[in-house]
Amino acid sequence: MIIAQRLALGVLTLIVVSMVIFGAVSMLPGDFAEAILGQGATPQAVAAIRRDLGLDEPAILRYFSWLGDTLRGDLGVSYAQMNFQSNMGGGDNLRTVASQIAPRFANTMFLAGVTACIAVPFAVGLGILAALFRNSAFDKAANVSTLSSISSPEFFLAYILILFLAVLNPVLPSLSNIYEGMTLSERLEKTLLPALTLTLVVTAHMMRMTRAAIINLLASPYIEMARLKGVSPMRVIVRHALPNALAPIINVVALNLAYLITGVVVVEVVFVYPGIGQLFVDSVKNRDIPVVQACCLIFAAAYILLNLTADILSILSNPRLRHPK
């Protein structure tokens, strides 16, 4: 029952977010028709393009038309791909928004996956060690370094890594020019620098939550009993404390995975990574409304889905939430 309520709330949230997205995109400064025709465009030409694209219709009709098409899986056609010089008769040259987004979204998911494979074990391991050596020099150094990394803007961390790993010590490429047909090793090499940047950004939350959850459990009676039986401190944490601390850790990991998909815009722009974040920035610049709306909706859906996943996993891992009185 609780899970069904969470799912219904997620669907409702996504609908509300779609309204916000449509309204915000509609209020973007500038006009696509004027942008594509240039400053010398006549009012008649601008009006003709707006009429052909349906931009002259009331906003409420355009919203429900867009929402209905999206629910059917039709994200529309990219304005930037239309041939306005021949009465929009682009024919086979027209590219749908879905065909543009699909490879970019796959690239972003690959970047998020590589980052997660690095960041999650590193952050959880660092949190365990910080809890094991609580208040030691290692614990203080880990807290200071992770807090410093999360306090720094993504672009600053990216340029620092480029300076040290691509310029002064050319170990990794500074540009992530991913293209179709690359081998896995080549993709990993091109993706590693942006993945390291994102790792520095998300590690602090996961590390500190792991540390706090384990330290909170170390005062439990069953942990004291395990210690009295002579169990080693590392075994106490890994075998007894960590399994009971999974609920908050899973929650913060899911939230940071959501950030890896929705918060990659700056990192992708810095490294010229061909992901959905870079496509989003280019589309905003070109006033390509269908692509902008689709990118925003995908970001929102990914964030809501991962938050729901974290919520549901927390419920399943906690008997008190599964069987409320």
Mean pLDDT, range 116-125, rounded to an integer: 91
* pLDDT digits 0-9 by tens, 90-102: 444 457 888 888 8
The answer on pLDDT for 135 being more than 50 is: yes
pTM of the predicted protein model? 0.82
Contacting residues for 144 by C-beta, under 8 A, at least 6 apart? none
Task: Kindly report the CATH number that applies to the domain delimited by 100-322.
Answer: 1.10.3720.10
Q: Which residue pairs from 301-307 have beta carbons closer than 8 angstroms and sit at least 24 positions apart in sequence? A: 301/14, 302/258, 302/261, 302/262, 303/258, 303/261, 303/262, 304/10, 304/13, 304/14, 304/17, 305/10, 306/254, 306/255, 306/257, 306/258, 306/261, 307/10, 307/254, 307/255, 307/258
Lowest-confidence region among 208-222, 241-255, 275-289, 294-308: 241-255
The pLDDT score that the predictor gives to residue 48 is: 79
The pLDDT score that the predictor gives to residue 37 is: 66
Q: Domain map of the chain by residue range? A: 2-93, 100-322
DSSP letter for each residue of 290-318? HHHHHHHHHHHHHHHHHHHHHHHHHHHH-
Lowest-confidence region among 230-244, 271-285, 309-323: 309-323
The pLDDT score that the predictor gives to residue 91 is: 44
Percentage of the residues of the chain whose pLDDT score is greater than 70: 88
The pLDDT score that the predictor gives to residue 87 is: 44
- Which amino acid type is present at position 299? F
The answer on pLDDT for 273 being more than 60 is: yes
The answer on pLDDT for 194 being more than 90 is: yes
Mean pLDDT, range 229-248, rounded to an integer: 79
* pLDDT digits 0-9 by tens, 44-88: 777 777 777 777 788 888 888 888 888 888 888 877 766 554 444
The pLDDT score that the predictor gives to residue 115 is: 92
